[in-house]
Amino acid sequence: MSRRGLVAGNWKMNGLTGAADTLVGGILKGLEQRKGKNICEVLVCPPFTAIQAVGKKIAGSAVKLGGQNMSEHKPGAHTGEITGQMLTDIGCTYVILGHSERRSMYGEDSQLVARKMVAAYRDGLTPIVCIGETLQERESGKTLDVIRDQVSAIFPNLPADEAKRQQLVLAYEPVWAIGTGKTATPEQAQEVHAFIRKMLVDQLGNDTASKVRILYGGSVKPDNAAVIFSKPDVDGGLIGGAALKAEDFLGIIDGFQG
């Protein structure tokens, strides 16, 4: 299996420019100390207002830059929105789409997320599409049904281009594990990741399915990262709270090395 691990920091609505600078400075320093080690791909997704400053700071490093959301529309009269092109313009190569906070607080459904994915590809970004069940859905035995619905929505909207399909990143984030300190067990994560992988195989064929990365997100910390990342279909993590402390984020990156 030739999937490169990816650890992505989702800073959410945190960080004025000064704090963002300090945080990314700490990450860069830690990565410098790990130079020569075979570490995973590292991505930071600051709030929009800090992206440019963070981008300048990471210039020349291996750290990648991403947005946390974008509009599905082309440029025009959409007050308060931004296009994918605006993200690429300031150095982003990734964008997180359909995070559960966007789905639950801002009414984003799987169809909208699929349209945003189309726009992200069009604008030259790699989409990280988030999926995951609520506690109620898990407790009523509906986890895999919810995942099936959320993942199915993106298939008709994937580009025909094979290389672009292989770039796709999915992030399984059980809603009940986000910011709660409750992590899915490695077995729970692997069960869902394997289910998603099987869907990818059925829809896109073995070759593409074996290249698509599936991240786990939800209360990943330095002390639980390694065991979650050790599962065969877990290709890295989408990190919220622990991405706001350089030391913790670096500890999670170390977890990828097993």
Give the shortest CB-181-to-ligand PGA separation in angstroms: 8
CA distance 165 to 209: 9
Q: Which is nearer to ligand PGA, 114 or 239 (CB)?
A: 239
Cβ-proximal residue to ligand PGA, closest one: 240
Looking at residue 95, what DSSP letter applies? E
Q: Which segments of the chain are extended strands (E)?
A: 6-10, 41-45, 64-67, 94-97, 126-131, 169-172, 213-217, 236-239
Q: Which tokens in the block code for residue 28?
A: 């860069």
CA distance 178 to 170: 16
Q: Is 99 a catalytic residue?
A: yes
* Residues in Cβ contact with 210 at an 8 Å cutoff, skipping those fewer than 6 apart: 1, 2, 3
Q: Are 228 and 186 in contact (CB under 8 A)?
A: yes
Q: Which is nearer to ligand PGA, 30 or 222 (CB)?
A: 222
Give the shortest CB-8-to-ligand PGA separation in angstroms: 8
Give the shortest CB-243-to-ligand PGA separation in angstroms: 7
Q: Are 242 and 248 in contact (CB under 8 A)?
A: yes
Q: Which is nearer to ligand PGA, 169 or 204 (CB)?
A: 169
Give the shortest CB-98-to-ligand PGA separation in angstroms: 11
Check 108, 133, 137, 173 and give the catalytic one: 173
Which residues are at the interface with ligand PGA (CB under 6 A)? Answer: 10, 173, 178-179, 217-220, 238-242
Check 41, 72, 99, 108 and give the catalytic one: 99
Q: Which is nearer to ligand PGA, 58 or 178 (CB)?
A: 178
Q: Which tokens in the block code for residue 58?
A: 């990471």
Task: Cite the active site residues.
Answer: 99, 173
